[in-house]
Amino acid sequence: MTDTLAAPALTANDFASENEVRWCPGCGDYAILKAVKKTLAEIGAARENTVFVSGIGCSSRFPHYVNTYGFHSIHGRAPAIATGAMLANPDLDMWIITGDGDGLSIGGNHLMHILRRNVNCQILLFNNEIYGLTKGQYSPTSHFATRSPSSPSGSLDTPIDPALFALGCGARFVARAVDTQQKQLGEILKAAYEHSGASFIEIYQNCPVFNDGVFSPFTEKASRDDFQIQVEHKKPLTYGSENNKGLISNQSQFDLKPVTIGQDGIKPEQIITHDQTNRTLAFLLAQMSGRDTPTATGVLYNASEPSYEHVVTEQVSKITARAKQRPEPARSGINDVLRQGFNWEV
């Protein structure tokens, strides 16, 4: 056996770049970076084939911190740049890093279209419900009445929910994760990688500087179990510190209803089993507010459909095959095109 047969497998550390990471101490971005590097090692990613494209914002510094190809582009436009890159080279492993401002404010349009087109990529939306890099203004996901330098008396905008937005745009893979929940985050990243098409992951990311603890009610150890439901495919939708809470179908309201097993005659078999291919269920899970109902995390929706590059390539093959069947010789280059149609000799 010689050591030239196979390159040694890369570790998480091999995906770290030489650049000094410049996020604030305690920022949730560190945990996400760690999970991504670990995932890249686990999936056996090829560094030369892996591309991180980002926009502008704290999260968008991400490409500088991984040792792959990267493009730290302009505000909101990462999905459009990534789409172009995938059209040029459909074999790339494309990761898009964006935030709530980058992805849902200035770049909302591009996010919508990359999702509906189903370009093969992983989109990681770091949601910290605030503008970090510009120093703390409210963002499109900030709660109503958020006080910030640009909204000293409280913001008046109704927030948008990223996962609901993605589902509404026709995304075929929608998941929610929490920066500190490393195990779940890693599993979601892997599932997203394996999904062919656009995978959308909203990651609740704590910004200790400008919006500290905004997700605590459902992410802190003390309250997490009772206010967060981690969904898994084909497993019952149960949660709670004693795992005795669950979701049943509230048919009169076409909604989900949180219940406690054993109370009011609720039996375990009444609890809904998660089906990640059920889009309606995904909507219902995504719209649970986190107040009377828990916040759902995990893979809410995962239904495979051919990716955009796939259909683009397939169409070209069909057109080429059809051209070959025509009586006139198939054109092999632009010179042939120029000589088709009406022309005359002088």
Partner 1 sequence: MTIVKNDDKIILIIKTKVPALLDKTKRQPLETVVVRIAGDSGDGIQVTGSQLSLANAMQGSDLATFPDYPSEVRAPVGTTYGVSAFQIHFGGRDIKTIGDEPDVLIALNPAALKTNLERLRTGGLVIIDTGAFTSRNIEKAGYEISPLEDKTLDAYKLIKTDISKQTLAAVADIGLSRKDSLRCKNFYALGLVYWLFDRQRESTYAWLQKKFAVHKNVANANIAALDAGHAFGETLEASSDLAGYSIGPAQMENGLYRLVTGAQTMAWGLAAAAELCDRKLVFASYPITPATPILHELATLKDLGVVTFQAEDEIAAACAALGASFAGALGVTSSSGPGIALKQETISLAVSVELPMVIVNTQRAGPSTGMPTKTEQSDLYQAAFGRHGESPLPVLAARSPADCFDVAIEASRIAIEYMTPVIVLSDGFIGNASEPWLIADVNDYPRFGHEQIIIPEAFAPFKRHPKTLARQWVTPGMEGLEHVLGGLEKDHVTGAIAYDPENHQKMTDIRAQKIAGISRTIPDLEPDQGDTTGDIAIVGWGSTYGPISRAVTNLRNDGKAVSHVHLRHLFPFADNQDELLDNFRIILVPELNAGQLLMMIKATGRQNLQGLSKVSGQPFMVREIEAAVDKILEKIND
Are 118 and 109 contacting, i.e. CB atoms less than 8 angstroms apart? no
Selected from 74, 164, 209, 288, the binder of partner 1 by CB under 8 A is 74
The dihedral built from the CA positions of residue 93, 106, 180 and 31, taken in this order, carries a sign that is positive
Minimum distance of partner 1 from residue 300's CB (angstroms): 25
**Contacted entry of partner 1, ligand SF4, none for residue 338, CB cut-off 5 to 8 Å set by kind:** partner 1
CB atoms closer than 10 angstroms to residue 288: 17
Are 197 and 209 contacting, i.e. CB atoms less than 8 angstroms apart? no
Residue 156 vs residues 131, 132, 147, 215: alpha-carbon distances, Å: 16, 19, 10, 20
CB nearer ligand SF4, residue 177 or residue 284:
177
User: What part of residues 224-283 is at the interface with ligand SF4 (CB under 6 A)?
Assistant: none
Minimum distance of partner 1 from residue 113's CB (angstroms): 4
Determine the 3-state secondary structure of 96 from DSSP.
strand
Rg (CA), the chain: 23
CB nearer partner 1, residue 156 or residue 316:
316
For residue 23, give both structure tokens.
Answer: 């996020």
Are 95 and 195 contacting, i.e. CB atoms less than 8 angstroms apart? no
Query: Please, what's the b/e burial string for 187-199 (b: 16 or more CB within 10 A of its CB; e: otherwise)?
Result: bbbebbbebbbbb
Determine the 3-state secondary structure of 52 from DSSP.
strand
| 68 interacts with partner 1 by CB under 8 A | yes
Minimum distance of ligand SF4 from residue 300's CB (angstroms): 24
Q: In whole angstroms, what is the distance from residue 183 CA to residue 149 CA?
A: 36
**Contacted entry of ligand SF4, partner 1, none for residue 58, CB cut-off 5 to 8 Å set by kind:** ligand SF4
User: What part of residues 171-230 is at the interface with ligand SF4 (CB under 6 A)?
Assistant: 207-210
**Contacted entry of partner 1, ligand SF4, none for residue 25, CB cut-off 5 to 8 Å set by kind:** none
User: What part of residues 28-67 is at the interface with ligand SF4 (CB under 6 A)?
Assistant: 29, 58
Selected from 156, 222, 311, 319, the binder of partner 1 by CB under 8 A is 319
| 312 interacts with partner 1 by CB under 8 A | yes
Q: In whole angstroms, what is the distance from residue 233 CA to residue 275 CA?
A: 5
| 160 interacts with ligand SF4 by CB under 6 A | no
Are 277 and 166 contacting, i.e. CB atoms less than 8 angstroms apart? no
Minimum distance of ligand SF4 from residue 5's CB (angstroms): 43
User: What part of residues 17-56 is at the interface with partner 1 (CB under 8 A)?
Assistant: 17, 19, 46-53, 56
**Residue listed under structure tokens 């920022």:** 27
Size of site (CB under 8 A) for partner 1: 60
For residue 289, report the phi and psi dihedrals to the nearest 5 degrees: -80, -20
Q: How far is CA 33 from the centre of its chain?
A: 14
**Contacted entry of ligand SF4, partner 1, none for residue 265, CB cut-off 5 to 8 Å set by kind:** none
User: What part of residues 80-139 is at the interface with partner 1 (CB under 8 A)?
Assistant: 80-89, 91-92, 109-110, 112-113
**Residue listed under structure tokens 């406690």:** 260
What angle do the packed helices 78-88 and 308-325 form, to 10 degrees?
40
Selected from 10, 21, 24, 160, the binder of ligand SF4 by CB under 6 A is 24
For residue 300, give both structure tokens.
Answer: 């809410």
Minimum distance of ligand SF4 from residue 128's CB (angstroms): 5
| 316 interacts with partner 1 by CB under 8 A | yes
Residues making contact with ligand SF4 (CB under 6 A): 23-24, 27, 29, 58, 128, 132, 207-210
Q: Which residues bind partner 1 (CB under 8 A)?
A: 17, 19, 46-53, 56, 63-64, 67-74, 77, 79-89, 91-92, 109-110, 112-113, 312, 315-316, 319-320, 323, 330-335, 337-339, 341-346
